[in-house]
Amino acid sequence: MALPKGTTVQFTSEQRLDDAVREREFTLGEIPGILWTPASASASASAPAPLILLSPPPLGLRKTYPRLLARARHSAADGFATATIELPGSGDRPRWPAAEQALAGLRLAMEADEPVSDEIIDALILPLVDKAVPEWQAALDALLSLPEVGGPVGYSGGVISIGVRLAVVEPRISAAVLFAGSFVPRVMFEEARQVTIPLHVLLQWDDEGNDRQAALDLFDAFGSKEKTLHANMGGHTGVPKFAGDAAAQFFTRHLK
Amino acid sequence: MALPKGTTVQFTSEQRLDDAVREREFTLGEIPGILWTPASASASASAPAPLILLSPPPLGLRKTYPRLLARARHSAADGFATATIELPGSGDRPRWPAAEQALAGLRLAMEADEPVSDEIIDALILPLVDKAVPEWQAALDALLSLPEVGGPVGYSGGVISIGVRLAVVEPRISAAVLFAGSFVPRVMFEEARQVTIPLHVLLQWDDEGNDRQAALDLFDAFGSKEKTLHANMGGHTGVPKFAGDAAAQFFTRHLK
């Protein structure tokens, strides 16, 4: 169900973290989210902070909160506001039957150590992209109307196909950090060619269940003149600290 | 012809660049070289600067001087000493007939747009590695005996197979930045598995005449627990400034 145009952010809680970060939970319609801003930016006198949309992995905000917070803290120290919203079908948000079925198929294939079929990948990812992208655009509308949040806007995620679609359809996003760690429907390679914003792509070389060749092919497909691939050792959640720092530097270079 | 053990660096010229860098040309036996040190490090009171061995591409020091100097300046600003020596067969150093023949074969293959055979790659690269590596080790002996130069030592190059062999045989090298932009003999993939030091590998995604898949396979083969691949757009000499900065940060992280 699409959000009505003009839906605003309703804050539901607020806390200060270490006097450096202001954390506010909010709802956008039915969708829960979190906004982190540099504590100094709450003074109405200071300039609005450029925004980073931090798309979570599809595991729910609660489960991934520590990882999201670590990145939001880093961004706040660099002068950025960071916002995240729950993905469709994650956390407490309603699942849809086709996704449940695709997920079951995925588990079967992975347990049997078989390649995951294009049909399963499409059924798993494409409806998620179709549902999520308008929500992130609505979140962007709502967040940019706050006086303490401004542009330019960066995107950092998560499910890479959501980032690809957003980079194509949302002109307010100026630069993106993409995480090459999820299944990519074939049709997304075509969309990738239409992406022109600067990209910083993270690839965990030994990511369990990630198709390294597909990640390299997707990187090759992006139409952007400036695109950088940072490949590091380790599994899905093992991104080294220095790689996170390099991603942060990418945003500082492009959004400040 | 191997250098006699204990060959020392003979300085032949000295100049200050912008009051920040001390540049000294030297000879090591018959081999010309250049040493750049932070100008502040020339005072005998200051601690010795960690050394970066900067291996040039096989085009001669004179031709590549501007590129080498730019990197040496950056390193000096970070507190490093940087040294380079002419590769065997480059600049004014004598060629050997087999290399000339291999080079002619390479040109023929590239002009005909044919794949370069393993035989040509072996004949081009393996004797160069065999000759160059002991020279870099002799240079390391000589440079580390200077009071203003110390450890730990980093290697940054150039012909990637020279870096691979050096990383295997020379325990004084603690970290290496390798440039995936030259032909790699098959035997080097075996040597790559023996490399264990932290590696930062630069790959120009659209490098003319470079085999991208071979570069990715070589990255995969390295035995190092910490290895990072930074792939960027552009051709052989088009490494973006931010990628050079990231390589410099890698050395600061590992050598300081």
Per-residue pLDDT reduced to its tens digit, B180-190: 977 899 999 99
Q: Which CATH class is domain B9-94+131-255?
A: alpha beta
Cβ count within 10 A of residue B151: 14
pLDDT > 60? residue B138: yes
A242 with B233: Cβ contact below 8 A: no
Q: Which residues of B touch A216 (CB under 8 A)?
A: 216
pLDDT score of B21 more than 80: yes
B228 vs A216, A224, A230: nearest CB: A230
- Residue with the bigger pLDDT between B44 and B250: it is B250
Query: What 3-state DSSP class applies to A110?
Result: helix
Q: Would you put residue A60 in left (φ > 0), alpha (ψ -120 to 50) or beta?
A: left
Mutate to test the interface with B, among A229, A251, A254 (most CBs of B within 10 A): A229
Interface residue A242 vs chain B (CB under 8 A): yes
Which of A130-134, B39-43, B125-129 has the lowest average pLDDT? B39-43
Specify the pLDDT at position B182. 79
Above 60 in pLDDT, residue B42? no
Return the structure tokens found at A143: 């967040």
pLDDT of residue B163: 96
Q: Tell me what pLDDT residue A5 has.
A: 86
pLDDT at B68: 95
Its pTM stands at 0.90
Of A224, A227, A231, the CB nearest to B229: A231
Question: Could you tell me whether strands A227-232 and B227-232 are parallel, antiparallel, or unpaired per DSSP bridges?
Answer: antiparallel
Q: What is the mean pLDDT of residues A229-247?
A: 91
Q: How far is CA A79 from CA A53, A154, A198, A248, in A?
A: 14, 13, 20, 11
Unique residue bearing structure tokens 């801003």: A37
Cα distance between residue A124 and residue A129, in whole Å: 9
Contacts of residue A220 in chain B, CB cutoff 8 Å? Answer: 205
Mean pLDDT for the stretch of residues B172-187: 93
Min Cα–Cα distance to chain A from B103, Å: 31
Compute the nearest-CA separation of B203 from chain A (Å): 9
Mean pLDDT of chain B: 93
Distance from CA of A176 to the nearest CA of B (A): 15
Residues facing A156 on adjacent strands: A54, A177
Say which residue, A128 or A46, is predicted with more confidence: A128
Question: B245 falls in which pLDDT band (50, 70, 90)?
Answer: very high
CATH number assigned to the domain covering A9-94+129-255:
3.40.50.1820
Over 80: is that where the pLDDT of A37 sits? Answer: yes
Inter-chain touch B227–A219, beta carbons under 8 Å = no
Q: What is the mean pLDDT of residues B68-93?
A: 96
pLDDT band of residue A2 (cuts 50, 70, 90) is confident
In the predicted structure, residue B72 carries a pLDDT above the cut 80: yes
Q: What is the mean pLDDT of residues A25-33?
A: 97
Span B36-45, average pLDDT: 71
- pLDDT at residue A44 greater than cutoff 60: no
pLDDT at A1 over 70: no
**For range B197-216, the mean pLDDT:** 90
Nearest CB partner across the interface for B231, out of A205, A229, A246: A229
pLDDT tens digits along B219-241: 999 999 999 999 999 888 888 99
Residue A181: predicted pLDDT: 77
CB A190 within 8 A of CB A165: no
pLDDT at residue B45 tops 80: no
Q: How confident is the model at residue B11 (pLDDT cuts 50, 70, 90)?
A: very high
Residue B43 has pLDDT above 90, yes or no: no
Residues in A touching B200 (Cβ below 8 Å): none
- Could you report the per-residue pLDDT of A51-98, keeping only the tens digit for each? 999 999 888 999 999 999 999 999 999 999 999 999 999 999 999 998
Q: Where are the domains of chain A?
A: 9-94+129-255
Give B21's strand partners: B17, B38
- Bridge-based pairing of strands A81-85 and A31-38 is antiparallel
pLDDT at B207: 82
Query: What's the pLDDT at A210?
Result: 78
Extract the runs of DSSP E, i.e. beta strands, from B61-194: 81-85, 149-157, 173-179
Residue A8 reports pLDDT greater than 70: yes
ipTM: 0.85
Q: Among A39-53, A70-84, A168-182, B74-88, where is mean pLDDT lowest?
A: A39-53
CA neighbor of B160 nearest in space, from B115, B106, B196, B200: B200
Q: At a CB cut-off of 8 Å and minimum separation 6, what does B204 contact?
A: B180, B181, B210, B231, B232, B233, B234, B235, B236, B238, B239
Q: Establish if B231 touches chain A: CB-CB under 8 angstroms.
A: yes
Could you tell me which residues are beta bridge partners of residue A10? Answer: A27
Q: Is A196 on the interface with B (CB under 8 A)?
A: no
At A41 the pLDDT is: 55
What residue of A is the nearest CA neighbor of B246?
A246
Q: Which residues in A lie closer than 8 A to residue B249 (C-beta atoms)?
A: 242, 246
Portion of chain B with pLDDT greater than 90, in percent: 80
- Which residues are registered as beta bridge partners of A53? A83, A155
Residues 6+ apart with CB under 8 A from A130: none
